[in-house]
Amino acid sequence: MTGASVTSARAGRLDGGRRERPGPGRLARDSLLIAGRYLRILRGNPARLIYPLLQPVLILVLFVSVMENLASSVAGGAYRELLIPGIMIQNVVLTAPVTGLAIVRDADTGLADRFRSLPMSRGAVLIGRSLSDTVVFFTQALVMIGVAYLLGFHVRTGLAGIAGLVVVAVGFGTALGVTCAWLALLIGDVETAERALFFPFIPLAFVSSAYAPVGRLAGWLQPVARVNPVSSAVGVVRGLAEGGSLAPAVIHLAAWTLVLAVVPGVLAVRRWQSSP
Amino acid sequence: MTAPAGEPAIEASGVVKSFGSVQALRGVDLTVRTGMLAALLGPNGAGKTTLVRILATLLRQDSGSVRVLGHDVATHPYAVRSVIGLTGQYAGLDEALRGRDNLILIGRLAGLGRQEASQRAIELAERFGLAEAAGRAVRTYSGGMRRRLDLAASLMNRPALLILDEPSTGLDPGSRVELWAALRELRDAGATMLLTTQYLEEADRFADAVHVLDHGVIIATGTASELKTRTGTQVVDVLLAGQDAAAAKAALTARLAPADLHVDEASRRLAIVARDGLGTLLAAARVLSDSRIEVADIALRQPSLDEAFLALTSGQQPSGGPSSGGPPSGGGPAGTRSPGPQRSGARR
């Protein structure tokens, strides 16, 4: 090892030291590197993937077993047809805070300071983490579809429908994860975030069409349930399963997903970079 | 190292930073030339970390200008980031990843290509004695190994300026020696470094220039020995052969101002502020000899950096204005400080 290679007045190779803000190419590259970091950790700790996969299995089986008879006797018909899409989306909603917790846990470590002092793209940590979480949402979606199938829930639109369902789960989950990242960074403290982050999601999951048609909810809940993105996500899943018309719900959901990913995303990145 | 045409590595002037009502920095002026190892010395809460975070673009100053290798930290943070390496107070490493993967990840995020990053990871792991450990997760590392890996990570992109925030804090003596060896090697290789420390010894041993930061201002700048001389006069150190410290004190007090004399009875040591240099030594020797007090050792010495540091950082209240020209020659107030337990520092 010679001294000359220790340091140099030259900067990192890509830029000659004068480059200003990294462009989109650099953002993609850095995000993939960060995603790779999280996936490597996930691979080293398979238990972290097992629990997110067990969770939907338990919830699906328990909810359906406990509610089925009661609900069907009151509501008539096959309640599970209605309930299973709701539980699928509820599960996505309850998994999203994990992204936020991971981000806030990383935010005041020495590693975060290291990242902030590197000439990397500043959105990369959030995007990278979200990318790695899509792997979790993806496998979760496949497991849910499988278990739901065993419970008698069939996607009548075939493979295209299944693919659509996966896209909804992954896309909506990731957007909510980004929102959680922003909320968690706003809270700033890991322990507080751990306790608080689930709260907005409880009404979000329940004041929706996940467990009952909007028309059967209490009157004052109905307008809220109608604009709730969870209702549109559940609506899309039901539409895919039954083969009905999707259009209004899909547009509503796509708009929500985009807004939830972009607006809190930009705010979260800004917050991340300036965390003290 | 090659500097962009005489550009200083760090050039800060009038840097102010407040957190709420707390003023962490009150107008810091600091210049570090390339090729220097500069130490930023100061007690806890002096503002060292705040200054480092501004230099490393992690914080934005409220006012004042900061240029790092010619780039303004406020307007060109990415340019600054691509020429610095930061070893913060807490290891900037992923505990769950292997040592080598940490180096590669950090190198690639700093802009290195895949090949170059793995090549350099191997080189640096070897250089810092981590070749064997590089395949293990960082969480299995000792504190010293972690520090060295952290240092290696900061060097992945060949920074022109290395910033180290209290690199030796929390290390056991053995690991500290290892770290120092690594830093010394870097210095010998011509790296420009700024390190913050609260260990005077560290600044004394390594630094080409010491900047003393206290209450958010630089109160003195110079080499360690300049600081020692500037703080004041030399000290006559006396080690008594017998137990008659009280007698020695009585004899000397007759000739000296009480504030100029400190007696540590337990260790049979006396320290006398040598206002007349050698004259004080001779006078003290004569008094002791006349009083038939046996002396094991008597010597004229420079004040230690500890003493210089205490003299610099205690007496004065920051006025808000920068004063890099050294402390006022009046020094600290006489007799208001109780000297440290071991160092019987008689300061003015």
At B248 the pLDDT is 84
B79 and B14 within one domain: yes
In a domain, B108, yes or no: no
Q: B82 vs A12: CB contact, 8 Å cut-off?
A: yes
**Which tens digit of pLDDT belongs to each residue from B95-121?**
999 999 999 999 999 999 999 999 999
Structure tokens at B47: 């503002």
CB A201 within 8 A of CB A93: yes
B242: Cβ contacts below 8 Å, ≥ 6 apart: B268, B293, B294
At B149 the pLDDT is 94
Q: Which residues pair with B15 in a beta bridge?
A: B28
**Which tens digit of pLDDT belongs to each residue from B192-212?**
999 998 877 777 777 889 999
> Which of B199, B228, B257 is the last residue before a domain boundary?
B228
Quote the number of domains for chain A: 1
**CA–CA separation, B93 and A163 (whole Å):** 38
In a domain, B143, yes or no: no
At B339 the pLDDT is 33
> Which of B184, B209, B228 is the last residue before a domain boundary?
B228
In a domain, A32, yes or no: no
**CA–CA separation, B130 and B103 (whole Å):** 11
In a domain, A151, yes or no: yes
A37: three-class secondary structure by DSSP: helix
A199: Cβ contacts below 8 Å, ≥ 6 apart: none
In a domain, A255, yes or no: yes
Kindly report the CATH number assigned to the domain that includes residue B196: 3.40.50.300
Contact B105/A at CB under 8 A: yes
Low-confidence ranges of chain B (pLDDT < 50): 1-5, 316-348
**CA–CA separation, B59 and B74 (whole Å):** 9
Residue of A7, A48, A272 best to disrupt the B interface, most CBs of B under 10 A: A7
B274 and B168 within one domain: no
- Residue among B59, B113, B191 minimizing CB distance to A6: B191
**CA–CA separation, B303 and B347 (whole Å):** 9
pTM exceeding 0.90? no
Structure tokens at B225: 């020995």
In a domain, A55, yes or no: yes
Residues of A in contact with B192 (CB under 8 A): 7
- Residue among A40, A45, A118 minimizing CB distance to B81: A118
In a domain, A22, yes or no: no
At A187 the pLDDT is 93
User: What's phi and psi for B312, nearest 5 deg?
Assistant: -70, -45
Q: A13 vs B116: CB contact, 8 Å cut-off?
A: yes
Range of the domain at A78: 47-274
- Where do we find the tokens 């930023």? B40
Amino acid at B67: R
Task: Name the strands in the sheet holding B209-214, side by side, starting at the edge strand that comes first in the sequence.
Answer: B84-87, B161-165, B192-197, B37-41, B209-214, B217-222
Residue of A1, A5, A6, A37 best to disrupt the B interface, most CBs of B under 10 A: A6
In a domain, B273, yes or no: yes
Q: Judging by DSSP bridges, how do beta strands B84-87 and B161-165 pair with one another?
A: parallel
**Which tens digit of pLDDT belongs to each residue from A219-260?**
899 999 999 999 999 999 999 988 877 888 899 999 999 999
CA distance to A133, B78, B92, B101, B117, per residue, from A6 (Å):
37, 21, 19, 20, 14
Cβ-defined contacts of A60-69 (< 8 Å, 24+): A60/A84, A60/A87, A60/A88, A60/A91, A60/A144, A60/A147, A60/A148, A60/A151, A61/A147, A61/A151, A63/A87, A64/A151
In a domain, A33, yes or no: no
Which residues of B, range 248-267, sit inside 8 Å of A by Cβ? Answer: none
- Where do we find the tokens 């952290």? B150
**CA–CA separation, A259 and B325 (whole Å):** 56
B58 and B25 within one domain: yes
Q: B76 vs A22: CB contact, 8 Å cut-off?
A: no
> Which of B179, B212, B228 is the last residue before a domain boundary?
B228
B33: Cβ contacts below 8 Å, ≥ 6 apart: B3, B8, B9, B192
Helix pair angle (A124-150, A47-75), 10° resolution: 50
Residues of A in contact with B190 (CB under 8 A): 3, 6-7
- Residue among A8, A10, A117 minimizing CB distance to B84: A117
Going by the DSSP 8-state scheme, the letter that residue A210 receives in this structure is: S
In a domain, B283, yes or no: yes
B71 and B167 within one domain: yes
The rounded radius of gyration (Å) of the Cα atoms in chain B is 24
First to last CA, chain B: 42
Range of the domain at B269: 233-302
Kindly report the CATH number assigned to the domain that includes residue B249: 3.30.70.100
Contact A113/B at CB under 8 A: yes
Q: B110 vs A118: CB contact, 8 Å cut-off?
A: yes
Q: Is the dihedral of CA A197, A200, A202, A204 positive or negative?
A: negative
CA distance to A45, A104, A134, A196, per residue, from A100 (Å):
19, 6, 14, 11
At B181 the pLDDT is 82
At A276 the pLDDT is 53
Residues of B in contact with A114 (CB under 8 A): 86, 88, 92-93, 106, 153
Q: pLDDT of chain A along its 276 residues, tens only?
A: 433 345 544 433 344 444 567 888 999 999 999 999 999 988 888 888 888 889 889 988 888 888 777 766 666 667 778 888 999 999 999 899 999 999 999 888 899 999 999 999 989 999 999 999 999 999 999 999 999 999 888 888 889 999 999 999 999 999 999 999 999 999 999 999 999 998 888 899 889 988 888 888 888 999 999 999 999 999 999 999 888 778 888 999 999 999 999 999 999 999 988 765
CB B340 within 8 A of CB B306: yes
**Which tens digit of pLDDT belongs to each residue from B18-66?**
999 999 999 999 999 998 899 998 888 889 999 999 999 999 999 999 9
At A46 the pLDDT is 86
CA distance to B26, B60, B67, B202, per residue, from B64 (Å):
10, 10, 10, 29
In sequence order, which ranges of chain B are alpha helices (DSSP H)? 48-55, 77-81, 99-109, 114-127, 143-154, 173-188, 200-206, 224-230, 245-253, 278-290, 305-313
CB B28 within 8 A of CB B15: yes
In a domain, A17, yes or no: no
Contact A46/B at CB under 8 A: no
> Among all residues of chain B, which has the CA nearest to that of A23?
B78
B14 and B57 within one domain: yes
In a domain, A102, yes or no: yes
CB B331 within 8 A of CB B348: yes
Residue closest to B186 by CA, chosen among B267, B87, B104, B94: B87
Q: A7 vs B85: CB contact, 8 Å cut-off?
A: yes
**CA–CA separation, A6 and B320 (whole Å):** 39
Going by the DSSP 8-state scheme, the letter that residue B303 receives in this structure is: P
Quote the number of domains for chain B: 2
CA distance to A15, A114, A183, A219, B118, per residue, from A119 (Å):
10, 10, 26, 53, 19
At B258 the pLDDT is 63
B224 and B274 within one domain: no
Going by the DSSP 8-state scheme, the letter that residue A57 receives in this structure is: H
> What burial class does residue A232 get, using C-beta atoms within 10 Å of its C-beta: 0-12 exposed, 13-18 middle, 19+ buried?
buried
